[in-house]
């Protein structure tokens, strides 16, 4: 095995700076910290999580963070940034999580390291053949100081599905969730105050080993980093304006459109850049066979509303099975809407009462207009549509711990 994903200049977080998560429905095993802060000695069992008091941490900007012990009244000191003007952009935080394994083996242990650049061989599988996946989820801060995650086990399941398609080993769901929890708590001071945004969590799985001929890489790295974020679209919850792309396609049948591989996103940049240059917010793609059925926007799923019916394109291998998409369908059903997952034509889109997009980054984003073959169709005269607003409020209230979690979707970190 060639060890060509060396993380240089990084130091594991000391054990006394970590706090374990807890949840009544998802009980997690406390990490066993050594000098290198290794986690996960297989087999990993789901058990009740112990709690550890935290000490102080200091960032490379010299700011000191003091994190509360469950038995003290000391509160977390937030990072010194402008929380009121937080956009959706990358910001360096304190720690990242790293776990490695060889092809044909299982991930067994990981560690927290100071956030920093990584070193890769020029022949790494991720760089030469795009053998990589990523996930996205968020952590929210409640008014009482508790930290909430939204359905992280779903991200772990989706990563495993994508890893199989991309011929990569993957952490177990339990390993994935525990790694997310540990990373979030190590970067707790970067979680925005309630109502100011969220902590975006980016897990990566990549072929880090050197490979010259076309083949799976000999070594793999699972990495998590985080960044505080505000709204994905600059419009916020205000309506966005989309253009339907008729020449380029995001995915094709039999390809990798249904998994969160890195190549899916590079493929949309040309059309997206052209659309934004013309003043549009993003691009809506059609299927590559008939060129008349909706697929998805560059990085989110699309829904349309007609009367009491909410429709969205069915998952058939070319559309990413979004976790927010899945959640919105369940929330809509619970609120009395009829929901349909089926082929949705562009003609139906233009005749809809309301259109909105969903995704981890955008949550729910109402669509104000669609432009198709030079024709612009607008939706609603009062800005955000009633259904979009209703579903956005319902889902974000769950995610932020404002409403009761009857779905058992929330993981609470203390």
Catalytic residues: 260
SS3 category, 353: coil
Closest to 158 (Cα-Cα) out of 313, 321, 45, 396? 321
**Can you tell me the distance from the alpha carbon of 49 to that of 40, in angstroms, rounded to the nearest whole number?**
13
Q: Residue 213 corresponds to which tokens in the numbers above?
A: 């001929």
Q: Residue 354 corresponds to which tokens in the numbers above?
A: 């309301």
Radius of gyration of the chain (CA): 22
SS3 category, 49: coil
Buried b (16+ CB within 10 A) or exposed e, 293-321: bbbbbbbbbbbbbeeeebbbbeeeebbbb
Distances (CA, A) of 198 to 102, 115, 375, 412: 34, 19, 37, 15
Helix, strand and coil content of the chain, in percent to the nearest 5, comes to: 20, 30, 50
> Residue 309 forms beta bridges with which residues?
306, 338
Residue in the block written with tokens 């991309």: 166
SS3 category, 258: coil
Long-range own/partner contacts, residues 274-283 (CB < 8 A, 24 or more apart): 275/243, 275/245, 278/243, 279/241, 280/241, 280/242, 280/243, 280/371, 281/233, 281/235, 281/240, 281/241, 281/242, 282/233, 282/240, 282/242, 283/242, 283/243, 283/244, 283/245
């Amino acid at each position: 095995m060639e060890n060509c994903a060396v993380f240089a200049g990084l130091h594991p977080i000391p054990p006394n700076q970590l706090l374990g998560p807890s949840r009544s429905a998802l009980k997690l095993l406390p990490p066993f910290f050594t000098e290198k802060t290794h986690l996960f000695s297989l087999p990993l069992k789901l058990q009740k999580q112990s709690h550890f008091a935290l000490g102080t941490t200091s960032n490379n900007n010299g700011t000191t963070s003091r994190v509360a012990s469950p038995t003290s009244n000391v509160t977390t000191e937030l990072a010194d940034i402008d929380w009121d003007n937080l956009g959706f952009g990358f910001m360096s935080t304190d720690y990242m999580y790293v776990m490695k394994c060889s092809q044909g083996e299982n991930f067994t242990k990981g560690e927290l390291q100071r956030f920093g650049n990584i070193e890769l061989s020029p022949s790494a599988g991720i760089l030469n053949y795009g053998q990589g996946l990523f996930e996205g989820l968020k952590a929210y801060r409640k008014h009482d100081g508790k930290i909430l995650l939204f359905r992280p086990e779903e991200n772990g399941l989706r990563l495993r599905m994508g890893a199989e398609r991309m011929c990569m080993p993957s952490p177990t769901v339990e390993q994935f969730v525990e790694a997310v929890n540990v990373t979030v708590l190590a970067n707790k001071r970067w979680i925005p105050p309630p109502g100011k945004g969220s902590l975006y969590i980016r897990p990566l799985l990549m072929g880090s080993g050197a490979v010259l001929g076309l083949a799976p890489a000999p070594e793999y790295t699972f990495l998590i980093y985080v960044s505080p974020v505000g709204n994905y679209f600059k419009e916020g919850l205000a309506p966005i304006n989309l253009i339907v792309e008729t020449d380029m396609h995001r995915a094709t049948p039999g390809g990798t459109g249904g998994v969160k591989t890195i190549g899916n996103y590079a493929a949309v940049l040309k059309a997206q850049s052209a659309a934004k240059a013309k003043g549009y917010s993003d691009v809506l793609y059609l299927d590559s066979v008939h060129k008349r059925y909706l697929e998805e926007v560059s990085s989110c799923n699309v829904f349309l509303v007609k009367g009491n019916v909410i429709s969205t394109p069915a998952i058939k291998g070319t559309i990413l099975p979004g976790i927010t998409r899945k959640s919105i369908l369940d929330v809509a059903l619970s609120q009395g809407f009829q929901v349909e997952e089926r082929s949705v034509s562009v003609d139906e889109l233009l005749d809809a009462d309301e259109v909105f997009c969903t995704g981890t980054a955008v949550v729910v984003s109402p669509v104000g207009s669609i432009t198709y073959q030079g024709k612009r169709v607008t939706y609603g005269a009062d800005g955000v549509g009633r259904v979009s607003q209703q579903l956005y409020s319902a889902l974000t209230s769950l995610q932020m711990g404002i409403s009761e979690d009857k779905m058992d979707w929330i993981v609470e970190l203390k």
